[in-house]
Structure 1
Amino acid sequence: MFFRQLYDERLAQASYFVACQATGEAVVIDPNRDVEQYLELAERHGFRLAAVTETHIHADFVSGARELAQRTGAKLFLSGAGPREWQYEYAEKEGATLLEDGASFRIGKILFEALHTPGHTPEHLSFVLKDEARASEPVGIFTGDFVFVGDVGRPDLLERAAGVVGAAEEGARQLFRSLAKFRSLPDYVQVWPGHGAGSACGRALGAMPQSTVGYERRFNWAFKIEDEAEFVRAVLDGQPDSPPYFAVMKRVNKRGPTPVAELAPVEKLGFESLSGALGRWIIADTRRAEDYARRHIPGTINLPFNGSFVTWAGWLLPYDAKIGLIIGDDAAGRAVRALRLIGLDQIAGFWSPEVIEEWEARGGRLHKIERLSADRAQQLIEKGEVHVLDVRREDERARGQIAGSLHLPLGELIKGEAELPTDKPLLVHCQTGTRSALAVGLLSARGMDHLIDLEGGFAAWERKVNEGKN
């Protein structure tokens, strides 16, 4: 058996490539939209893709299952479990085989048995793998968003992201019952999850790429609770906010994503197009937060092209507007591919960062955002010379806050519905400085002046205050 985990750091997401070396047939499990990586792997090792499957209708990235099957002629296996409203709408058109609990399929001498494991979503399947060339006992289980290393999939996303009232508690109860199926597997069975640390599909995912059933039964918090009501309370408590793009991904993956090959290429734009785009498009300046704060074109937001680019793009960028990027030529293609992973297909073009200098050279005004250390910020706060805006989550603020500060979590700020005071400069902070930089960029794009970003966030401010007490 040939086995590879393909881990995408941008999504904290794992997909799997499994092949039978005796027959040369291969299957991909939970592919994302970057389908070239699976095609290249198959070609490099001389395998033929015979099957493509996924554990559930994903909410955090665009599935590549449909496109991969179309491009290779592989058989598509999808979940047929769960209620009708959570079935794949494109399954019949693509000739997909629908799997229920206990169904199976094989590639060569490798057998995949489907377990219906609802909870994270109603249609969720897990796949038990048996390498029958060696033994009839299971080798491992692909758990998707059911069981992670050290955690379990959150059952509240249908209610939070898709607006299905009452789905969170019902999902939690289903998840508790699904765990009984997992418990029944032998200790030695390997666990291959769909996500790792950093994913919003769970609350506290571990960083290890895989585990075993025995290890999770012993150390995963979810297996320490034997009472269903207690489990429901525990699994729903403290779940983080879900990015707004999750609801869009659910619809896209249910209906069937557009193949990347059918999307228009994204071209570099000239300076003359910038003025017309401002105010009509969302223009994301992808430079570092400190560079954006130093000088940026009014009306642009800041979305640094770093390891968190996809995550924050899913929070900040809408799906109903054209998007332009300010980004270097060498990075533009990578950024576009990254945005397409979460279905942001309406990228209308990009400008290189030199457009900022040209804007100024032609008489355009540049905006600046002040960035202050905790020491200087504390002085302004004590003198009452600023309003303070806290953009952290409720649970973070409950552990400590700046007295008199306003509170508006970043997710709420993004909606643009709240009115903020303008009679004094607005000092914005989060926990460590990342979200506040995004927040001041949004507020600047909306026309607010006199913005200040607290460098290092509340953590830096708290350290400064504690130093003064010693």
Structure 2
Amino acid sequence: MILRMLYNDQLAQASYLVGCPESGEALIVDPNRHVEQYLELAERLGLRITAVTETHIHADFVSGSRELAEVTGARLYLSDEGPSEWKYPYAAEAGAVLVREGDAFELGSVRVEVMHTPGHTPEHISFIVTDKARGSEPLGAFTGDFLFVGDVGRPDLLEKAAGITGTMEQGARQLFDSIQRFRTLPDHLQIWPAHGAGSACGRALGGVPQSTLGYEKLYNWAFSTQDPEEFIRRVLEGQPDPPRYFAQMKRVNKEGPAIASKLPAPAPLAYGDIEVMLRQGLVVDTRPADVYSQGFIPGTINIPLGASFLTWAGWLLPYDRPIALVIDREKLEHATQLLRLIGLDNLRGYWTPAVIDRWAGEGRKLATYRRLTPEEAGQLLGDGVCVVDVRWDSEREKGYVPGSIHLPLGYLEEHLEEIPTDKPLLVYCASGTRSAIASSILAGRTRAPVMDIKGGFDAWKATGNPVEEPKSTTTV
């Protein structure tokens, strides 16, 4: 049997190719929308993709299952478990084979058996894989978002992200039952999860890409918790806020994603279009924060094209209005691919950074904000400055800059009226990435000077600046 993992660092998402070298067939499990990578891998390995599947209706990226099956002519396998509202409406049109607990299919000497493992979502299934060329015992399991290394999938997303009230506790109870069933499988079973550390689909995922069931029984907290009520309490507490785009992904993946290869490529936009886009849509400047802060077109926001680009695009960009980018032309294809991974298909076009020089050259004012060292920022504290903390609740609970107001970045735009417009603003997060994005939002919408603490709260504290322990906080 051939097994390969394909990992997307921005999504902390794993998809897999499993193949039979004798028959030349291959199965792709949990593909994302970048389908070319699976085609290229199969070709390198001398395999043809004959089957495509996914473990559940994903919330954190647009599934590539439908497109990959269409491109290759492969058979598409989709879950038929769960209640009617979590079925796939496009399954019949796509010619999908609907599978349930106990169903199985084969690729040469590789047998794939379906196990219903609800909890993260009602329709969630895992795939138990047996390499019949080596033996009759199962080799491993593709566990999707059910079982991770060191953790389990969160059962609160349907309620928190999709807005389906009353489903958190029910999902947690189903998850507990799924774990009890899964623990009866052999300890040697390898665990191939759909996510690693950094994914918002779990709370404390391990950094190791795979594990064994026996090892998880020893060291995964979920297997050591035998009381269902204790399990429910533990699995629900401390879960971070899911990115806003998760609700959109659930809808898109359930109803059937558009075929990415048929979407139009973003076109270069005319200079005169920028004011139209600022009124009707959103313009995202992808330059590094240090460059952007020195001069940008008012009304644009800055999400640098780096490691956290996809996370904050998912939090801050609209699905119901057009988007345009300020970006170097050679980076456009990469940015487009990232945005399409989370279904932001409304990318109207782009300008190169030369548009900023033209704007300034016509005598139009550029907005700016200052990036301060912690030492510089410390000297301003208490000098009529409004300090804005854009970290999450759990981070603020560990300490904060005295007198700061708390508005997490993900919710900042809907609370702008809570920020004074007659005082200089000093913005911080944990390390400086989020505060730079927040500063771009604030600087384009206020006349007051905006300043960002480079290095964030971590650097502020390390420098010896004052820190207040939480008593009561202003929290959204």
**Which residue of 1 is the match for residue 307 of structure 2?**
307
Q: Deviation at 1:439?
A: 1.0
Aligned residue for 1:345?
Answer: 345
* Displacement after TM superposition at 1:447 (Å): 4.2
SS of structure 2 residue aligned to 1:465: coil
* Counterpart amino acid of residue 428 in structure 1: V
Q: Secondary structure at the match of 1:112?
A: strand
How much has 1:307 moved relative to structure 2? 1.4
How far residue 281 of structure 1 moved from its aligned partner, in angstroms, is: 2.1
Residue identity opposite 1:224 in structure 2: S
Match of 2:431 in 1: 432
Instruction: Specify the code of the residue in structure 2 equivalent to 1:342.
Output: I
Q: Which residue of 1 aligns with 2:408?
A: 409
The 8 Å contact of residues 28 and 53 in structure 1, kept in 2 or not, is answered as yes
Give a deviation string over 1:215-236, Cα, whole Å, max 9, x none.
Answer: 1111112112111111111111
Are the aligned partners of 2:27 and 2:49 in contact in 1 as well (CA < 8 Å)?
yes
- What is the distance in 2 between the residues matched to 1:304 and 1:444? 16
Greater shift in the superposed pair: 4-13 or 418-427: 418-427
Percent identity of the aligned residues? 56
Query: Partners in 2 of 1:417 and 1:354 — Cα distance?
Result: 30
Deviations 1:244-264 (A, max 9, x none): 000000000000000012211
Q: Which moved more, 1:70-79 or 1:440-449?
A: 440-449
User: 2:141, 2:190 within 8 Å by CA — same for their partners in 1?
Assistant: yes
Once the two structures are superposed, the pairs formed by residues 156-175 of structure 1 within 5 Å of their partners are 156-175=156-175
Whether 2:399 is the aligned partner of 1:400: answer yes
Give the aligned residue type for 1:279: R
Cα shift at 1:414: 3.5
Amino acid at match of 1:340: R
Count of aligned positions: 467
Output one character per residue of 1:30-67: Cα deviation in whole Å (capped at 9) or x when no partner: 00000011111222222121111000000000000001
Aligned-residue offset at 1:417: 5.9
Classify 1:190/1:444 alpha carbon distance in 2 versus 1 (closer, same or farther; 3 Å): same
Letter in 1 for 2:154: R
| 2:471 corresponds to | none
1:48-67 counterparts in 2 under 5 A? 48-67=48-67
Please give the residue correspondences for 1:348-387 in structure 2 after superposition, counting only pairs within 5 Å: 348-381=348-381, 383-387=382-386
Which residue of structure 1 aligns with residue 474 of structure 2?
none
Question: CA deviation digits over 1:112-164, x for unaligned, max 9?
Answer: 11111111101000100001111110100001001111111111100000111
Q: Partner amino acid for 1:462?
A: K
Shift of 1:302: 0.3
| Alignment CA distance shift 1:56-1:448 (3 Å) | farther
Worse-superposed segment, 315-324 or 216-225: 216-225
Alignment of 1:51-450 (within 5 A): 51-381=51-381, 383-416=382-415, 418-447=417-446, 449-450=448-449
CA contact (8 A) 2:169 2:232 kept: yes
1:68-118 alpha-carbon deviations (Å, 9 max, x no partner): 111111111000011111111111111211111111111111111111111
Is contact 1:390–1:408 with CA below 8 Å preserved after alignment?
Answer: yes
**2:472 aligned partner:** none
Structure 1: which 5+ runs fail to align?
none
**Normalised TM-score (structure 1):** 0.97
> Which 4+ runs in 1 deviate beyond 4 A?
none
CA distance in structure 2 between the partners assigned to 1:386 and 1:130 by the alignment: 64
Q: Per-residue deviation at 1:418?
A: 4.2
Q: 2 CA distance for matches of 1:296 and 1:398?
A: 34
SS in 2 for 1:371: strand
Amino acid paired to 1:76: L
Structure 1 CA distance, aligned partners of 2:245 and 2:51? 29
Deviates more, 1:173-182 or 1:340-349: 173-182
Give the partner amino acid of 2:439: V
Q: Tell me how far 1:273 sits from its aligned partner.
A: 2.4
Report if aligned partners of 2:401, 2:466 keep a CA contact under 8 Å in 1: no
Structure 2's unaligned 5+ residue stretches are 468-476
Shift of 1:287: 0.7
Whether the aligned pair in 1 keeps the contact of 2:384 and 2:423 (CA below 8 Å) is: yes
Bigger mean CA deviation after superposition, 98-107 or 122-131 = 98-107
Give the alignment's Cα RMSD to 1 decimal: 1.4
